[in-house]
Amino acid sequence: MDIVLSVIIPNWNGMQFIESCLPEVLKAAAECPFPSEILFIDDASADNSAAFVKKNFPGVTVLQNSVNLGFGASVNKAAEASSGKFLALINNDLRPHREMFARMMGHFQGNDDIFGVSAKSLSSETLQPNHVNMMGRFADGRLRLAWADDQSPAETMFLQGGSSVVRRQQFLEWGGFAHLFAPGYWEDYDLSYFALKNGMRNLYDPGAVGYHHGQGSMIRAHGSDKILRIRERNSHFFLAMNLTDPDFLHSWMKALPAALGRESQLRVLSQFQTCFELLGATGSISRVRRQRSKLIKVSDESIFERFQHRGTLC
């Protein structure tokens, strides 16, 4: 029987999560009415987690990187190796409810224009919302994130890369997660937004629930201060790669110096580093823009208008 859903779990030193999370992934896959496979891709961990999965979860396909590639590159590698028509992207520290995959997959039936469906994640410790319906508003050259705790399925601007299902064909054709966002953050928002510019839709389903332990691997690897700077930098990479309406693009470029200064506050070295990284990435950004240009069907203005008055600003 042909595989329909490929569940991809990127892992880096996630041993503390595997015993509680991976069994729940297996249960959710078993509850899904479509044939599935589970790919666990280990990003050169030092905690023996890949060997543990091989020994204790024989039904899981284990892929291993010889060197650390980062979140996006690991997901891309597993996507290339997968067999399904759909990819479930699941963080190694997420425990999906047993109906999560079935709920998300149900939205694709008869809806060929849907690129991806995002789940609702709750904190494993507090059961408070960890990630809900995320969208953005663009004004005065700035992108402000907003959220809405919708109680029924709704369109979303941004899918969550750690608890969502996307179409494999488009994911691969569009290049997967862009390497510029390494080591992580905003690569899922980037691909989600491009799907909208391609004329497809994204959905958020609050009935598809996962329980998230939260940013453990990234903070251990890089520290909270560096993670904050990476998030800031990648938000600018996102705009540089995606804005194509001239008024929007010019507005962002005009506001960029003030934005960098405002975000960096007293972290002057951080401000200069972000500037140099943006300049150094110009060639890569231009290549991505050229590759995507022929696939754009919807304007930035049209997309932001759809979400302009929705949600609460973060």
Q: What is the mean pLDDT of residues 47-55?
A: 96
Beta pairing partners, 137: 144
pTM (2 d.p.): 0.93
Q: CA-to-CA distance for 300 and 99, rounded, in angstroms?
A: 35
Higher pLDDT, 85 or 268: 85
- Quick one: pLDDT at residue 124? 86
Question: 9 pLDDT exceeds 90?
Answer: yes
Q: Identify the sign of the CA torsion 279, 284, 286, 292.
A: negative
Average pLDDT, the chain: 91
Question: Cβ atoms within 10 A of the Cβ of 148, count?
Answer: 17
Among 41-45, 144-148, 250-254, which is the least confidently predicted range? 250-254
| Residues in contact with 162: Cβ distance below 8 Å, sequence separation at least 6, in sequence order | 89, 90, 91, 94, 121, 131, 188, 212
Q: What is the mean pLDDT of residues 230-248?
A: 92
The identity of residue 165, as a single letter, is: V
| Residues in contact with 97: Cβ distance below 8 Å, sequence separation at least 6, in sequence order | 24, 28, 208, 209, 210, 211
Cβ atoms of 178 and 190 within 8 Å: the answer is yes
* % of the chain exceeding 70 in pLDDT: 91
Q: CA-to-CA distance for 208 and 223, rounded, in angstroms?
A: 31
261 — pLDDT class (breaks 50, 70, 90): low
In the block, tokens 């804005």 appear at 243
At 118, give phi and psi (nearest 5°). Answer: -110, 145
Six token digits for residue 305: 């208008």
Question: Cβ atoms within 10 A of the Cβ of 144, count?
Answer: 12
Q: What is the mean pLDDT of residues 95-114?
A: 97
Indicate left, alpha or beta for 44 from its phi (over 0: left) and psi (-120 to 50: alpha).
left
Distance of CA 101 to the CA centre of its chain: 17
Cβ atoms of 121 and 147 within 8 Å: the answer is no
At 157-214, the pLDDT tens digits run 999 999 999 999 999 999 999 999 988 889 999 999 999 999 999 999 999 999 998 6
| Residues in contact with 270: Cβ distance below 8 Å, sequence separation at least 6, in sequence order | 229, 232, 264
Q: What is the mean pLDDT of residues 35-49?
A: 96
Three-state DSSP at 69 gives coil
Q: CA-to-CA distance for 39 and 87, rounded, in angstroms?
A: 10
At 44, give phi and psi (nearest 5°). Answer: 55, 50
Q: CA-to-CA distance for 229 and 310, rounded, in angstroms?
A: 27
Closest CA to 143 of 271, 309, 255: 255
At 123-138, the pLDDT tens digits run 988 889 989 999 999 9
Cβ atoms of 183 and 71 within 8 Å: the answer is yes
Question: Cβ atoms within 10 A of the Cβ of 85, count?
Answer: 15
Question: 22 pLDDT exceeds 70?
Answer: yes
- Quick one: pLDDT at residue 258? 77
- Quick one: pLDDT at residue 14? 92
Q: CA-to-CA distance for 206 and 59, rounded, in angstroms?
A: 29
- Quick one: pLDDT at residue 111? 96
CA distances from 152 to 97, 155, 202 (A): 17, 10, 14
Indicate left, alpha or beta for 169 from its phi (over 0: left) and psi (-120 to 50: alpha).
alpha
Q: CA-to-CA distance for 305 and 196, rounded, in angstroms?
A: 12
